Amino acid sequence: MSSEPTASVYRLHSTLELPLEDVHDLVDEANFPEGVADVDVTRRNNTLILSATAEDTSISKYTPTAQLKASVVENRVYEEDPEEVRRRQGGPSWGEEEEEEIESELVEYAAFKGDRETVLQNTQLQYEMFQVLREIALISEKGTLTAITCEDGELDSWRIVEGDERPSSIEVVEGPADEDAAQSGVNWRDNKFISD
């Protein structure tokens, strides 16, 4: 029987986008976190799913392990910036001159976008798969990953912007007092609009 997890992910928001090829390369070359034997990459139409395979063989095959979910989108990638080419050509041409064609190709990108429930699903090995997502964020040139995690009782905050880890902090604030919350609710027992 596996022990209770000592780490968890409380909040997560991601807008990461990177070439699909980079995701495959990272998974092929990665040293996975302790507890993860491998990461299976599957694609269903325009959805990419990275699922953790547990090292612990006592985990039931019916226990879903954590998975990262991304949508696959196509982006046109230019060899040169189109604006730069237009400037070099002297702006738009209205005459007979043929405009220089800019070399480009369609590239598939994996977009890890959304909150924890959208991007990081299932609780078994969830923190470990968050660590994989962090590695993805560090090679992603587009998007941001922010998160609050807890490991061995210590809260951590994470902020990675366009591949660079940035300083972040956690602010703990008190919620409304229980008494105030009770007064703002509807008292169904003493409601004149409900008859016996």
Query: What's the token pair of residue 122?
Result: 């299932």
Residue 196, domain member (yes or no): no
pLDDT value, residue 9 = 95
Half-sphere exposure of 94 (CA within 13 A, CB side): 0
- CA 188 from chain center: how many Å? 41
Residue 65, domain member (yes or no): yes
pLDDT value, residue 39 = 96
pLDDT value, residue 2 = 45
Residue 100, domain member (yes or no): yes
pLDDT value, residue 45 = 94
Q: Report H helices in 30-169.
A: 82-89, 116-119, 126-139
Total count of domains within the chain: 1
Residue 105, domain member (yes or no): yes
Residue 195, domain member (yes or no): no
pLDDT value, residue 6 = 76
Q: Is the CB of residue 117 less than 8 Å from the CB of residue 24? A: no
pLDDT value, residue 76 = 85
pLDDT in tens, the chain (196 residues): 444 557 999 999 999 999 999 999 999 998 999 999 999 999 999 999 999 999 998 887 788 999 999 999 998 888 776 676 666 666 555 555 555 677 888 999 999 999 989 999 999 999 999 999 999 999 998 999 999 999 999 999 999 999 999 999 888 787 665 555 555 555 555 655 555 5
pLDDT value, residue 1 = 40
Residue 1, domain member (yes or no): no
SS3 call for 96 = coil
Residue 39, domain member (yes or no): yes
- Structural domain of residue 53, as residue ranges? 7-190
Residue 76, domain member (yes or no): yes
pLDDT value, residue 16 = 97
